[in-house]
Amino acid sequence: MRGEGLTDAIAAVNPSHVGRGASTLASMTLAIILLVVGIVLILLGVFVEAAKFLLWIGLVILIIAVIAWLMRAIKRNA
């Protein structure tokens, strides 16, 4: 038996299993990692867009508050 250790032992027991163990596990692990990274990036993109929207809303409210304060100050002095 010339060989590659455990791979030859697996091939002797189950010939259809030759060469599939490590690559299948690696591809499944890679797929799971890519899935998790994709979900995180989608959620991050949604939250960043929501934060950008809320920043604009806050800026508009701040400008309205400054204008209202200026109008009140001008009326009081007039």
- With H, G, I as helix, E, B as strand and everything else as coil, classify residue 37: helix
* Whole-number pLDDT of residue 9: 54
The answer to whether residue 75 scores a pLDDT higher than 70 is yes
The answer to whether residue 2 scores a pLDDT higher than 90 is no
DSSP string covering 2-14: -S-THHHHHHHH-
Amino acid identity of 9?
Answer: A
**Residue of 4 and 66 predicted with greater confidence:** 66
What is the spatial distance between Cα 25 and Cα 17, in angstroms, rounded to a whole number?
A: 13
Residue 21 near residue 10, CB atoms below 8 Å: yes
Q: Which two tokens stand for residue 3?
A: 């060989």
Q: Where are the domains of the chain?
A: 6-77
What is the spatial distance between Cα 9 and Cα 1, in angstroms, rounded to a whole number?
A: 10
Q: pLDDT by residue (tens digit) across 18-60?
A: 555 667 777 788 888 888 998 988 888 888 988 999 999 999 9
